[in-house]
């Protein structure tokens, strides 16, 4: 079953209390889907301190490690798209491997990476 992957903008929006993010997150969990957050996305959005809302969102998510195979695939994606954003590349590569929908605050870079790799990744922009 395809799931959902969150990008950095989604975590930041959750921390700000964005109701759309929380409603989508709640619906995902109610449907038995555990959203995936690539480790790089967490690193890019985490600024330390008591990020209570983001921590609450993350408690219902699976953190996907950036292992060697995934790192190589993200590098290939960057090369194909002429991008240096390995975090966005890891989002696309991971979502493509699972058939996930990607929830994003700005899908332009993700779409460029997806198109360069010619993979099936659905994007939903907040």
5, 95 contact by CB (below 8 A): yes
What domain range includes position 93?
A: 4-125
| pLDDT score recorded for residue 49 | 82
3-state secondary structure string across the chain: CCCEEECHHHHHHHHCCCHHHHHHHHHHHHCCCCCEEEHHHHHHHCCCCCCHHHHHHHCCCEEECCCHHHHHHHHHHHHHHCCCCHHHHHHHHHHHHHCCEEEECCCHHHHHHHHHHCCCCEEEEC
| pLDDT score recorded for residue 106 | 87
Total domains, the chain: 1
| pLDDT score recorded for residue 103 | 97
| pLDDT score recorded for residue 8 | 97
Ranges of residues in the chain whose predicted pLDDT is under 70? 1
CATH number, position 32? 3.40.50.1010
Q: What is the pLDDT of residues 53-70, one digit of tens each?
A: 999 999 999 999 999 999
| pLDDT score recorded for residue 48 | 86
Distance CA 44, CA 4 (A): 19
| pLDDT score recorded for residue 1 | 56
């Amino acid at each position: 079953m395809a799931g959902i992957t969150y990008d950095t903008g989604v975590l930041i929006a959750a921390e700000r209390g964005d109701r759309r993010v929380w409603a989508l997150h709640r619906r995902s969990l109610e449907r038995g889907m555990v959203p995936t957050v690539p480790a790089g996305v967490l690193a890019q959005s985490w600024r330390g301190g008591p990020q209570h809302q983001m921590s609450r969102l993350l408690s219902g998510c699976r953190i996907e490690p950036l292992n060697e195979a995934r790192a190589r695939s993200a590098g290939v994606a960057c090369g194909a798209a002429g991008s240096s954003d390995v975090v966005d590349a890891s989002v696309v590569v991971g979502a493509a491997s699972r058939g996930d929908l990607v929830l994003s605050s700005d899908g332009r870079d993700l779409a460029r990476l997806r198109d360069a790799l010619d993979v099936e990744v659905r994007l939903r922009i907040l």
